[in-house]
Structure 1
Amino acid sequence: MTEKTLHITSGDMVGANLARAGLGKEILVWHDVLYDGSRCAGWPDEETITARTEFLLRVTGGGLSRERLLAAVRGQYQRLAGAGEYDHLVLWFDACLFDQSMLVHLLTCLSQKGIHNLELIEVASFPGIAPFHGLGQLSPEQLASCYEHRRPVSPAQLDFASRVDRAFAEHDLAAWREIAAMPSATLPHVPPAMARRLLEEPDAQTGLGRLESLALAAVRAGCHDPLQIFQAVSAADTAPQYWGDTTLWAVLNGLAERRPALLRISGPAARLPQWESSYDLTRFFVAAVP
């Protein structure tokens, strides 16, 4: 009998490339921003499902309907609950904050369901690719070459994942600092990812997180087109980059909506689209408020 394997990862592009990598067609792409927003630790209750739906509605700027998001959130947990029917579960994640917060949550949820036949592939670098930000930079062939490096997930890793997932869920800054300061960990990319999350907390002097500060600096330096701003912020930030265009557009919108506003956005809409849109991004102009 052929053994069944489920591959779990983040990002639709990674999921599509895994499907073309010849490693099997059973792929679950997880969608959520688990380093932020209200939730409980581990397996979600109905209140958390609703809270995550509302959070993702804000993250996408209303670009996806509440009904679609609710169905997606419920659907991915339903599929995860049935993961015990597979002989192998292979989790594919990189070292960035987005992936590490998702990894610890999924490990915690699977452990709570008694599913322990887990293997992990973590890719923090790849020959010939610099700067390396994540799995989305790899071709199907490059992903396939990583498969031999998978390793069983240990009980110690599951215990640590549960601790970190709770810290994220409870927004426990003391726990964040403790985890970020760890010289080593059973999940080695978690401490630096947590250190990056701490940088997004409001600065005592400016009130801005690191990504907000980098975005504002790019505009003040003369970048006004959203794509120019993206390139400037990407160049100024340190690898691995955990954010994409949706996150950055939300940051720019937030800076424009502060009182007093720090940015002014003009163009075909009052806000940059945070999801798929018919608007041409080159028609937007972002300026610093004097």
Structure 2
Amino acid sequence: MLHIVNGDHVGDSLRRGGIQGDVLVWRELYTEGPIFADPRHEARTTHMVAALGIPPDLWNAGLAEQTLAFEQTAEHEEIVLWFEHDLFDQTMLIRLLHEFERRPLGRTRLSLVCIGEYPGFEPFHGLGQLSPEQLIPLADERHEIQPEELRLGREAWEAYASADPRSLTDFLRQDTRALPYLRSAFRMHLARYPSVRNGLGIVEQATLEALRDGADAPLELFRLVSDRLSLLGMGDLQYWLYLAGMMQGPHPLLAAQPTVRFPTFAAMSPEFQHARISLMGTGAKVLKGEEDRITLNGIDLWLGGVHLYGSKGVWRWDESSETLERK
């Protein structure tokens, strides 16, 4: 038996709890960087190494481990996928379903544990909050993945990886109940697109609002924004990319005192932890809708398979009509 899980903490907890079988931590971040139908694309590797500071050898070792897991599928009597409701996990889940849907499983049974809540945890962020004693019994609630789930996962991944964001909105017009958390996760993904109102995505909007309301420390901002947008499943390294991005361009929205280097995969400096972030005048105007971030600074951002670039003709999200449009 093989258990594929969403993070080291969950993997360690399952091992400590004495789960039967092997445990594989799926080390990917499909909510960051360029996404292609084949996520082993060289351009993705280049981006992730540069953006997050992940050592190339470590990144490539993770890809090799994942590839091997697919190639050895038939060696397992059962493969259990352990995921939760947020965008981080749902993108991993559909990536796996996409791969398993096109591979002959033979006699291997494919099962799923996927939850969106747990008694006593509010808000529920994910499986990593649970102790071994709480996690292990969830294995008894797993269900065998059905052809409809595999089909839906394949179509969802292809829509997410498409260079045309309308593929995703078209996908959401169908019945997605076979994967019950996918619709809300994808709606959160679409909210990451720049708004038609001021060019801010939901992460940038939440950050500027937190600064306006008095928060100013990087770790405090991360906690406030990640709690508010828990459906993203956003980690700290990904958030630092958003925060640093708002300090760049001809008209920065934020400033840091003192000027610090943002953390990467390697380490977080004490100077960064004690820095203070402030909302600049331009940022305040953008927050009020008096200025537009993209008009001022342009954009260079990957969301799934879509590359948002430049200052004109950029795909934006209209929250009121829940549609994408170019502006």
Deviation per CA, 1:78-130: give whole Å up to 9, x if none. Answer: 23321321111000000000100110111111222222620001011101111
Determine helix, strand or coil for the equivalent of 1:128.
coil
Determine helix, strand or coil for the equivalent of 2:89.
helix
Deviation per CA, 1:191-227: give whole Å up to 9, x if none. Answer: 1111110000111122111011111221232211111
**Partner of residue 270 from structure 1, selected from 243, 260, 269:** 260
- Residue type at the aligned position of 2:18: G
- Residue type at the aligned position of 1:287: S
- Residue type at the aligned position of 1:168: Y
**Partner of residue 111 from structure 1, selected from 101, 104, 111:** 101
In structure 2, the partner of 1:24 is 20
> Following the alignment from structure 1 to structure 2, what is the Cα–Cα distance between the partners of residues 235 and 117?
36
Q: 1:262 to 1:174 in 2, by over 3 A?
A: same
> Following the alignment from structure 1 to structure 2, what is the Cα–Cα distance between the partners of residues 126 and 140?
14
In structure 2, the partner of 1:208 is 200
User: 1:32-111, aligned counterparts within 5 Å?
Assistant: 32-41=28-37, 43-44=38-39, 48-60=40-52, 62=53, 64-111=54-101
In structure 1, the partner of 2:143 is 151
- Does structure 2 retain, via aligned residues, the 8 Å contact 1:253–1:271? no
Q: 1:59 to 1:31 in 2, by over 3 A?
A: farther
- Residue type at the aligned position of 1:37: G
- Does structure 2 retain, via aligned residues, the 8 Å contact 1:119–1:150? yes
**Partner of residue 119 from structure 2, selected from 124, 127, 135:** 127
Q: CA deviation at 1:266?
A: 3.2
Number of residue pairs matched?
Answer: 278
Task: Give the percent of matched residue pairs that are identical in Structure 1 and Structure 2.
Answer: 31
Q: Does 1:285 align with 2:281?
A: no
Q: Does 1:10 align with 2:2?
A: no
> Following the alignment from structure 1 to structure 2, what is the Cα–Cα distance between the partners of residues 125 and 171?
33
In structure 1, the partner of 2:306 is none
In structure 2, the partner of 1:252 is 243
Q: Note the residue ranges of structure 1 that are not aligned, 5 or more in a row.
A: none
- Does structure 2 retain, via aligned residues, the 8 Å contact 1:94–1:124? yes
> Following the alignment from structure 1 to structure 2, what is the Cα–Cα distance between the partners of residues 171 and 140?
40
- Does structure 2 retain, via aligned residues, the 8 Å contact 1:34–1:102? yes
- Does structure 2 retain, via aligned residues, the 8 Å contact 1:34–1:168? no
Deviation per CA, 1:138-180: give whole Å up to 9, x if none. Answer: 1111111211110001111111111000011114422322344
Please provide the CA RMSD for this pair. 2.0
Question: TM-score w.r.t. structure 1 length?
Answer: 0.88
Determine helix, strand or coil for the equivalent of 1:229.
helix
Q: CA deviation at 1:59?
A: 4.0
> Following the alignment from structure 1 to structure 2, what is the Cα–Cα distance between the partners of residues 107 and 261?
41
Determine helix, strand or coil for the equivalent of 1:257.
coil
Determine helix, strand or coil for the equivalent of 2:117.
coil
